[in-house]
Amino acid sequence: MAGTQLPSNLGNPYKSISVTPGSLLGLVYDGLTFVDEDGQLQPALATSWENDGNRKWIFKIRDGVYFHNNILNSTENIAQNINFIIKEENLVYPISVELKSISNARPIDNSTLEITTHERDPMLPKKLSLMRIVDFATWSKIGADYYSKEPIGTGPFFLKSWNEGGAVKFTRFKKFWDTTNKINNLKIYPLKDPISRVQALISGQVDIALGLSPDDIDIIKDNQLSFKINHSKQVLAIALPNMNKKGSPLNNIKVRQALSYSIDRKSIVRDILGGHFNIATQGATKENFGYNENITPYSFDPEKARILLKEAGYNKGFSLILEVLVGLGPADSLIYQRIVQDLSKINIKVLLRTTTYTERTRKYFTNDWKEIDAFSILWNNSPYNDTGRSLDSFSCIKVNPFFCNKEITKKIQISKLEMNTKKRKKQLEDIMSEMNYLAPSINIIEYGSIIGLSKFIKDIVVEPTGVAYEKIKIAN
């Protein structure tokens, strides 16, 4: 397989929950649950779960699950994992932030785990899909750095080498609890250049190529190969902070709305993405729990944008610095360039800057943006297929928030405690409608990826954390 990049933290399962590292970490580790390709929550190390209607959850844990070092997993081991990651000193880990509602985990017996939360948390089973379980005794003995170099999980593959002929090599774990895996050996070549990934696929050097662009599709077809469009249930957007700079034009709701009216999304989808992806109508896709189908999306209306800017006192426009991550999705660099062009037509002068994934992560969690006015972001509902996941990021709830509206934050907090599914769905739909009006971001497209496949691959499954390699179907 030709991938885009390796995780900067190698095999440390706590330091990243994003798709690129997730694709590799998902080979080695399991969570208690997982979210499938259709966005449905499924059992993994936990076979079932139930809630008492308040703060206690009971998880039934799968028996006979081995780690790659032949140590048997246990409810005590899982409890140690959870109680470790929720410690205050571990809030540096992204997964710790996701699980901050947990107050304690304890084994009831060999197959039963009890988790207690500080407050009611209807999303807890979904969140635990991202909590990858380590052999905690070994982790404690050798430390995080050594463990990340030689990761030990219960997943379908174990790591053989981080660099064998330029590839990361994995081998099938024969004691894996799910017997569907038919792949014995997997090599992942990190190729940053998309042209190199396409050439490797065409030449037969690899069987799968990730991170392709719409322009690559014709080349793939000409070579009698196939491709898969992955609709990832995420929304690509430009965050418009109202907390970062005193006196910023973006603090004005009419300015933020004007920017959203200025973008020709139809042109982006048609001309840049070849019609393979959908226009974003809100910070969610129709598959996400809490998506509001009654929202009227921002149309392409430059004249209305100019009127709003004039009403806000910016009829002559203004300048802003936009920082983006590129190379993570189809033609994203071209998309950002088109946005800059569209904004220039309403007299918004944009200085476009790119950054690294590591630096972006630091800025996001510290909110240390310095001179940056706006930045690329995902409404990343995909891991839970639930709008509740992204709403925190666009509210006062986020640690070091970049956007804050106290009224909508109160409504988000109420929805986070609602255990009745029907009531919570209505709450989220209403919140999404209000968020659309507040315009904390320019929502551009429903995000996804293009994956090239060789003749040997019949089909692949793409889950929220990346390709499920153990579920690859080989052509006859």
Rounded to an integer, what distance in angstroms lies between the CA atom of residue 95 and that of residue 87? 12
For residue 473, list its beta bridge partners: 459
Looking at residue 153, its pLDDT comes to 97
For residue 439, report the phi and psi dihedrals to the nearest 5 degrees. 50, 60
Looking at residue 297, its pLDDT comes to 94
Q: What is the pLDDT of residues 449-469, one digit of tens each?
A: 999 999 999 999 999 888 999
Structure tokens, 93: 């880990």
Looking at residue 17, its pLDDT comes to 74
Task: Name the residue ranges covered by the structural domains of the chain.
Answer: 34-137, 233-448
| Average pLDDT score over residue span 237-261 | 97
Q: Which of 5-9, 85-89, 246-250, 335-339 has the lowest mean pLDDT?
A: 5-9
Please determine, for residue 21, whether its predicted confidence score (pLDDT) is greater than 60.
Answer: no
Looking at residue 457, its pLDDT comes to 94
Looking at residue 310, its pLDDT comes to 97
Band of residue 112 on the pLDDT scale cut at 50, 70, 90? very high
Q: What percent of the chain has pLDDT over 70?
A: 99
Please determine, for residue 345, whether its predicted confidence score (pLDDT) is greater than 70.
Answer: yes
Across the chain, what does the average pLDDT equal?
A: 94
Band of residue 165 on the pLDDT scale cut at 50, 70, 90? confident
| Average pLDDT score over residue span 417-422 | 95
Look up residue 235 and give its amino acid.
Answer: V
Please determine, for residue 6, whether its predicted confidence score (pLDDT) is greater than 80.
Answer: no
CB atoms within 10 A of CB 52: 11
For CA atoms 62, 68, 72, 78, give the dihedral sign: negative
Distance of CA 371 to the CA centre of its chain: 26
Band of residue 55 on the pLDDT scale cut at 50, 70, 90? very high
- The crossing angle, in degrees rounded to 10, of helices 253-261 and 302-311 is 170
As to burial, measured by CB atoms within 10 angstroms (0-12 exposed, 13-18 middle, 19+ buried), residue 300 is middle
Q: CATH number of the domain at 233-448, please?
A: 3.10.105.10
CATH fold of the domain at 34-137: Dipeptide-binding Protein; domain 1 (3.90.76)
Rounded to an integer, what distance in angstroms lies between the CA atom of residue 65 and that of residue 139? 18
Band of residue 180 on the pLDDT scale cut at 50, 70, 90? confident
Q: What is the pLDDT of residues 295-339, one digit of tens each?
A: 999 999 999 999 999 999 999 999 999 999 987 788 999 999 999
Rounded to an integer, what distance in angstroms lies between the CA atom of residue 179 and that of residue 185? 15
Rounded to an integer, what distance in angstroms lies between the CA atom of residue 185 and that of residue 165? 14
Please determine, for residue 237, whether its predicted confidence score (pLDDT) is greater than 90.
Answer: yes
